[in-house]
A and B are shown apart, each in its own frame.
Chain A
Amino acid sequence: GQSLEQPSEVTAVEGAIVQINCTYQTSGFYGLSWYQQHDGGAPTFLSYNALDGLEETGRFSSFLSRSDSYGYLLLQELQMKDSASYFCAVRDHPGGSYIPTFGRGTSLIVHP
């Protein structure tokens, strides 16, 4: 079976740094993605990690440790517009088969 665990809710204040964790148990692993979804909107892609380490894209960074079956999304200099749900998703099929399995999502609430 497959399972992804992420916290259901995280709160933080504007300007702070927040980390959203994701642990996974899957039969195969080929990469971890993160998506952002504002209330009622479409999920949008943030990052993809296939190898261990930190990937930085502006204020957002994503980290992967395959040996620990663990990754996180780091959001710096939080802004009110970062209030949204964040989903981790595992690619557990090899080759060209991108069929991601999503976690249940973390609701990030940013306070002034």
Chain B
Amino acid sequence: DADVTQTPRNRITKTGKRIMLECSQTKGHDRMYWYRQDPGLGLRLIYYSFDVKDINKGEISDGYSVSRQAQAKFSLSLESAIPNQTALYFCATSPGQGGPGANVLTFGAGSRLTVL
């Protein structure tokens, strides 16, 4: 099984619908992130969380919300999806401060979302 699992892998929805993308990890990492990828724009940070009680906005948080239900689970919600939220979404994890691989992100396989 993958260390970082994202569901669903693909989703097509309509404008105005609520969508939730889920991420779970078995790496035991404290830190979790949601990135969005658009062609030619690289990876842009939506939200990140350093532990269960910590939620922080990233560069492009408008229109999104997150929930850190447990150390291993971090979900991303689009309350009312719009077409320009069509993108590939990645969840990532990293260890806490000072640990091995502290400066390494481990990514999930991605969730491709299409909003019609």
Contacts and interface: CB of A to CB of B under 8 A. Distances in A.
A89 B33 CA distance: 15
Interface string A1-40: 0000000100000000000000000000001010100001
B98 interface: yes
Given A42-B90, A42-B108, A98-B94, A33 B103 contact: yes
A32 to B, nearest CB: 10
Contact of B104 (A45, A50, A87, A101): A45
A96 B45 contact: no
A96 B42 contact: no
Chain A interface extent, by class: 20 to 34
B96 A45 contact: no
Contacts, number: 57
Given A31-B103, A91-B103, A98-B103, A105 B108 contact: no
Interface bracket on B: 20 to 34
Contacts of A96: 96-98, 102
Contacts of B35: 102
A69 interface: no
B55 interface: no
Interface string A86-105: 01010100011111111111
Contacts of B98: 96
B44 interface: yes
B42 A104 contact: yes
Given A42-B90, A102-B43, 7 more contacts: A8-B40, A43-B105, A43-B107, A97-B97, A99-B45, A102-B42, A102-B44
8 contacts: A42-B90, A43-B43, A96-B97, A99-B33, A101-B59, A102-B35, A102-B43, A105-B40
Interface of B: 31, 33, 35, 40-45, 48, 50, 58-59, 90, 94, 96-98, 102-110
Interface of A: 8, 31, 33, 35, 40-45, 48, 50, 87, 89, 91, 95-105
